[in-house]
A and B are shown apart, each in its own frame.
Chain A
Amino acid sequence: MKTYGSDRGFSGEAFVPKEDDDVIICRCEEITRGEIRKAIYDGMRTISEIRRYLRPGMGPCQGMTCERNVRGILARETGLPLSQIPGYRPRSPQRPVTLAELGNESEEEGGGV
């Protein structure tokens, strides 16, 4: 993975608004393409930083809908190929689970049939 060096991949260009900046990329958190692009210019150079700074991928679907699109925007803005942009770090629980369910541990023991 590219480590960006001391300029962290910043090309020195200023942020230029684009026509499709108001298209929503993360539906869960309602984050637009422009907000993501601006965040990249504000210094967010990795998928992890974008996610933590703006919250795409933090809603109920945990990035299933937006991950590829956010990676694509980051790839385009930094000039890196998509293959060098990782995804969001998947964590447990992979599906929303209520606190009651999560705390209700089953006591099964023994081998499978």
Chain B
Amino acid sequence: MKRWDLVVIGAGPAGLSAAIEAAEAGMSVIVFDENKKPGGQLFKQIHKFFGSKENHAGVRGIEIGQMLLEKAQKDHIQVELDSAVIGIAKDRSVSVRKDGQTREVQGQNILIAAGASERTLPFPGWTLPGVIGAGAAQTMMNLYGVRPGKKILMIGSGNVGLVVSYQMLQAGCQVAAVVDAAPRIGGYGVHAAKLARNGVPFYLSHTVIRAEGDGAVKSVTIGQVDSSWNIIPGTEKTFDVDTVCMAVGLDPMSQLARMAGALIEEKGGLVPTVDEYGQTSLPGIFAAGDVAGIEEASSAMLNGEIAGLRAAFKSGYIDEETFRTEYKKKKAALGDLRKGTFSPENKGRTDLTLTSEGLPLSENLFEKGFLTDEEVTKYPGVIKKAGVHPVIECTQNIPCNPCQEACAFGCIEVGEDITALPRINPQADCRNCGKCVAMCSGQAIFLVDEEAGCVTIPYEFDPIPEEGEMGTALGRDGSPLGQAEIIKVRKSPAFDHTALVTMRVDKTLAMKARAYSRKTFSE
């Protein structure tokens, strides 16, 4: 039986990051993944990531995946695909099924980075063809180029539900609504805003009652819930859809940790209890990434690195000073990601009313997915200025700062604390280069010239509008506001597949129009 210093189970962001960290310290590392492609969920994430510039903010998930793979290849890490780990024991032996064979592998250390699987929400009709998980829909679209359906209702307004709904619009599907039983949208306001301004309605405090259809989904009915989760009579609404998507949470795939006998706790799913380095209660067995607790890819990568670092120290490949120094850095970066309105400690809270700056958090954004015209002016990213200038509609404390780096002319400030709301510096001169618009992962930055009635929006749909065409300007709530003429379209490799579309509208609409529809505007 072959022995390795580190056996990694799962070639997703946590697993690969750990493998790279360990290999660069000199350990022999092997990574097993049951899928045919590595990268875990990264290869479905076509959107730009949040976080700090140092930790790949502004870069699309698929590229981060590619970058990790290249690093792993450079470090000569053996990554075995189509290799399912089918058994494990506390003696750190694992059984692997691959190529019609079973084999035993022994690890000095094991990292379980198996990720998570989708939760389901059983409701009457949920077993009809057409009811699928949001992750499954994302796999269909982004890995296989298949539309999950024509018209979709999304259940769940966390980041997964919001991001996948948007990707469905990009794939050419219609999204009838986003529904959540909670009173507030669970994911980032900027993700919700992308949907609202493209006409997707939100139904908070609503739950799904039933899906109906003869052999496949034809319609779905939702209803409002009271404080005891009972349906309020008379609030039923039915949508004609062919697909119902469930984005109701993720379940850590902790089966291997449980099989090995690690101490388990309920933390948004059954997870192995780990210390700050990712060590489980079993010596030499670590857990990192979603399997140790659902967060997102950036934290998964850092947790993977920390586990790899700890394993390297434990096995004598790095000395204590190196370990402590490196750990301190990674811990700080992880800390930055875990702050703000959506921090792990705020999860599930519906009572937050202020940003850390003391500004009001928009109730409308929480409940309907868009800022009102009045409240948008209260935020430091929105100022009045002559000529073209950036308008940043980022109004919640989210760890994210690529906008600061995007402007070479000092127009945008975030500061040391990356969860701070971005501020426009009124003294700086905007050159209309558009980089900030393209770089904002939340697509929340616009270039506005009120006098000229020009609004530049980020555009990620296909086909891209043509200069000269006439269409309709949509408000933050998706309602048609007036005619829009496309006066400029800019594409550039530096914008990484985000086109900048400048539309001219009546100047009274310059601070309202935030999306474009190719339909002709009629009064």
Report which A residues bind B (CB closer than 8 A). Answer: 20, 22-25, 27, 33, 64-69, 82-83, 86-87, 89-95, 97, 100-106, 108-113
Contacts and interface: CB of A to CB of B under 8 A. Distances in A.
Q: Which of A27, A101, A111, A112 has most chain B Cβ within 10 Å?
A: A112
B270 interface: yes
B258 interface: yes
Given A104-B102, A112-B30, A92 B87 contact: yes
Contacts of B117: 64
Contact of B28 (A94, A109, A112): A112
B251 A97 contact: no
Interface in B20-64: 28-30, 34
Nearest 5 A/B pairs, CB to CB:
A92-B87, A106-B103, A93-B86, A83-B266, A90-B255
A12 B155 CA distance: 37
Interface stretch (B121-129, B288-296, B486-494, B497-505): B121-129
A83 B3 contact: no
Contact of A100 (B30, B100, B120, B259): B100
A68 B269 contact: yes
B238 interface: no
B100 A104 contact: yes
B97 interface: yes
A33 B266 CA distance: 23
Contacts, number: 101
Given A82-B266, A94-B85, A95-B84, A108 B103 contact: yes
Given A20-B124, A69-B122, A112 B256 contact: no
A27 B118 CA distance: 14
Contacts of B266: 82-83
Contact of B259 (A69, A90, A113): A90
A23 B124 contact: yes
Contacts of B101: 101, 104-106
Most chain B CB within a 10 A radius of its CB, from A87, A89, A103, A109: A87
B3 A94 contact: no
A33 B120 CA distance: 14
B102 A91 contact: no
Given A24-B122, A27-B127, A83-B265, A112 B5 contact: yes
B1 A108 contact: yes
A111 B76 CA distance: 15
Contacts of B255: 90, 94
Interface residues of B, number: 42
A97 B78 CA distance: 23
Given A68-B251, A83-B265, A101 B122 contact: no
B92 to A, nearest CB: 13
B258 A69 contact: no
A111 B3 contact: yes
Contacts of A100: 100
Contact of A90 (B97, B251, B258): B258
B3 A87 contact: no
Contact of A91 (B5, B78, B120, B259): B259
A86 B259 CA distance: 13
Contacts of B102: 97, 101-106
A82 B104 CA distance: 35
Given A23-B124, A113-B78, A93 B2 contact: no
A82 B249 CA distance: 16
Contacts of B76: 113
